[in-house]
């Protein structure tokens, strides 16, 4: 999972995560319109449900993240969507913790915004399914890197954990690249207006 639990990170890292998350949410909410809420809700639900699909990898398990898909479909609203999903995951299923919601949102939300930026910049220059695959795979990869950095801030003893964490999620990167590439290509054929411009 790309969730850090309560009690792992220092208070300074937790505070920084909350500050950055609140700033991004404030900026996002300021520009959010009522017309965007239904699309935000559907994508947030998909992100939330994806966390319930677990795959065994060695002695642990991993789950789909879909932060790249969230970014590709709803663009600048991706951080808000992921924040809502993480809050629900923490309170309903105990994924991660309560104090680390800000950090966990940062770890998955910034990569979702990066996936949106990549998709938006390269749209029209690359095949949509390839571009969606790149954005989806990088969304997960960037989330893994950020989460690993957060773990390492706690101490060097977490370096091995971070390394194993990334290795265990390689199948997720591949699966999500295929999913996001396929969904992006499908939506561009049947309902191109749904894709964020």
pLDDT tens profile 45-62? 999 988 787 777 665 667
pLDDT in tens, 22-46: 999 999 999 999 999 999 999 999 9
pLDDT of residue 120: 94
Q: Which CATH number describes the domain made up of 11-194?
A: 1.10.1760.20
Q: What does the pLDDT look like over 164-181, one tens digit per residue?
A: 878 888 988 999 999 999
State how far the alpha carbon of 110 is from the alpha carbons of 23, 32, 60, 74, in Å. 12, 18, 26, 14
- Residue-range domain boundaries for the chain: 11-194
Burial (CB < 10 A; 0-12, 13-18, 19+), residue 147, is buried
Q: Is the pTM of this model over 0.75?
A: yes
pLDDT at 1 over 60: no
Q: Which of 27-31, 81-85, 158-162, 175-179 has the lowest mean pLDDT?
A: 158-162
How confident is the model over 86-140, as pLDDT tens digits? 999 999 988 888 999 999 999 999 999 999 999 999 998 999 999 999 999 999 9
Say what the pLDDT of residue 4 is: 85
Question: What is the rounded end-to-end Cα distance, in angstroms, of the chain?
Answer: 30
Helical ranges in the chain per DSSP H: 11-31, 37-50, 67-74, 78-88, 101-122, 128-154, 159-168, 170-190
């Amino acid at each position: 999972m790309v969730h850090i639990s309560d009690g792992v990170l220092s208070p300074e890292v937790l505070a920084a995560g909350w500050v950055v998350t609140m700033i991004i949410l404030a900026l996002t909410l300021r520009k959010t319109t009522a017309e965007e809420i239904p699309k935000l809700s559907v994508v947030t639900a998909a992100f939330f449900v994806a966390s319930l699909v677990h795959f065994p990898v060695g002695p642990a398990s991993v789950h789909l993240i879909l932060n790249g898909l969230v970014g590709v479909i709803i663009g600048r609203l991706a951080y808000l969507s992921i924040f809502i999903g993480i809050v629900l995951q923490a309170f309903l299923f105990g994924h991660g913790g309560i104090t680390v919601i800000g950090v966990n949102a940062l770890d998955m939300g910034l990569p979702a915004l990066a996936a949106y930026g990549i998709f938006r910049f390269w749209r029209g220059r690359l095949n949509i399914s390839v571009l969606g695959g790149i954005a989806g795979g990088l969304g997960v990869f960037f989330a893994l890197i950020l989460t690993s950095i957060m773990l390492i801030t706690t101490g060097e003893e977490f370096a091995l954990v971070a390394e194993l964490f990334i290795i265990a999620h390689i199948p997720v990167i591949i699966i999500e690249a295929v999913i996001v590439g396929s969904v992006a290509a499908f939506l561009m054929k049947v309902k191109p207006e749904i894709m964020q411009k």
